[in-house]
């Protein structure tokens, strides 16, 4: 039986990654379901984490980095008084001390306030950060510990969902570069429990995207091709934070030729360096940038082949 040809489709799929598979595996399954020629992601989740994983197809891969630095929201459950070699349930678990008392709800409320705002955090050994071209987790699996420098992250908010014995369930809103496993350990230590590890982790939001908008792999598998394609969001959904500018046909052509063009008459002046979304006849063209002369230059445009298809 002949395999269907790969399709040059473009768009963004909000995927609800299941438990116990890697982000790369989930993305490859999605790529196969859509018969997509090109596919990428906007940041990974560990195999034991679930939740929102935006997947970029085709031309959307050009803008996937936008979400790498976006704010994220997580639901997580901490096991207080225990430590894990990996920071989660996948590692070797050890009890810190049998005599440690479970904290009171009021103590948890008070302690987590110290973690809100800019804080310093040391990345864990079980992470994809690289040392001399090799990810830290590769050293960790070989029993080697690499010295890491603490770096500043930001925690926008933490809310307690429940506290049952030594299991603390939290909602966490954080900036880019935050390791929830490390945050869990640090909270456990600050509570006087000696540490903590993650029993579960679910990403519920990235920027303005919510996991309630996402589709599971099982649901996608049960759809026909047209239903799956209808799940894709347009490429420019990733870029709504940038102001939009509509170009005339002539300006659109000149910009594709590598020329700069004047801002549209009557448009408000924008500061030099401002990144903008570009449109022509309601079709998204890509990103531009305002020059010191109040002209527009191309920053990242959709390919000419894609543009010719949608602009017909």
Quick one: which of 225, 295, 238, 236 has its CA closest to 69? 238
User: Cβ distance 193 to 97 under 8 Å?
Assistant: no
Q: In sequence order, which ranges of the chain are alpha helices (DSSP H)?
A: 23-34, 105-112, 136-141, 180-190, 217-221, 225-229, 249-256, 304-310
The residues annotated with a catalytic role in the active site are 46
Q: Which two tokens stand for residue 294?
A: 């109040």
User: Cβ distance 163 to 169 under 8 Å?
Assistant: yes
Residues sharing a CB contact under 8 Å with residue 279, sequence separation 6 or more, in sequence order? 244, 245, 246, 247, 285
> Could you write out the DSSP letters of every residue in 107-119?
HHHHHHGGGSEEE
């Amino acid at each position: 039986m002949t395999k269907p040809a790969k399709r040059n489709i473009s768009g963004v799929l909000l995927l609800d990654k299941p438990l116990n598979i890697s982000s790369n595996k989930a993305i490859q399954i999605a790529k196969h379901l859509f018969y997509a020629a090109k596919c990428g992601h906007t940041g990974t989740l560990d195999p034991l984490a679930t939740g929102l994983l935006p997947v970029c197809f085709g031309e959307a891969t050009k803008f996937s980095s936008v979400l790498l630095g976006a704010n994220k929201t997580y639901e997580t459950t901490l096991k207080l008084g225990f430590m894990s070699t990996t920071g989660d349930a996948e590692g070797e678990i050890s009890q810190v001390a049998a005599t440690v008392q479970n904290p009171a709800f009021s103590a948890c409320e008070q302690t987590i306030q110290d973690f809100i705002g800019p804080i310093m955090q040391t990345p864990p050994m079980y992470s994809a950060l690289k040392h001399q071209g090799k990810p830290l987790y590769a050293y960790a699996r070989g029993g080697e510990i690499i010295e890491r420098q603490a770096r500043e992250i930001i925690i926008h908010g933490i809310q307690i969902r429940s506290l049952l014995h030594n299991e603390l369930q939290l909602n966490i809103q954080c900036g880019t570069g935050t390791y929830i496993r490390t945050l869990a350990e640090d909270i456990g230590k600050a509570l006087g429990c000696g540490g903590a590890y993650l029993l579960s982790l679910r990403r519920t939001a990235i920027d303005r995207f919510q996991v309630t908008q996402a589709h599971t792999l099982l649901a996608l598998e049960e759809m026909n091709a047209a239903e799956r394609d209808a799940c894709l969001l347009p490429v420019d959904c990733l870029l709504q934070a940038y102001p939009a500018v509509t170009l005339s046909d002539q300006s659109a052509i000149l910009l594709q030729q590598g020329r700069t063009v004047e801002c549209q008459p009557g448009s408000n002046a924008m500061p030099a360096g401002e990144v903008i979304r570009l449109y022509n006849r309601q079709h998204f063209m890509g990103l531009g940038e305002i020059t010191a002369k109040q002209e527009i230059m191309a920053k990242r445009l959709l390919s000419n082949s894609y543009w010719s298809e949608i602009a017909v």
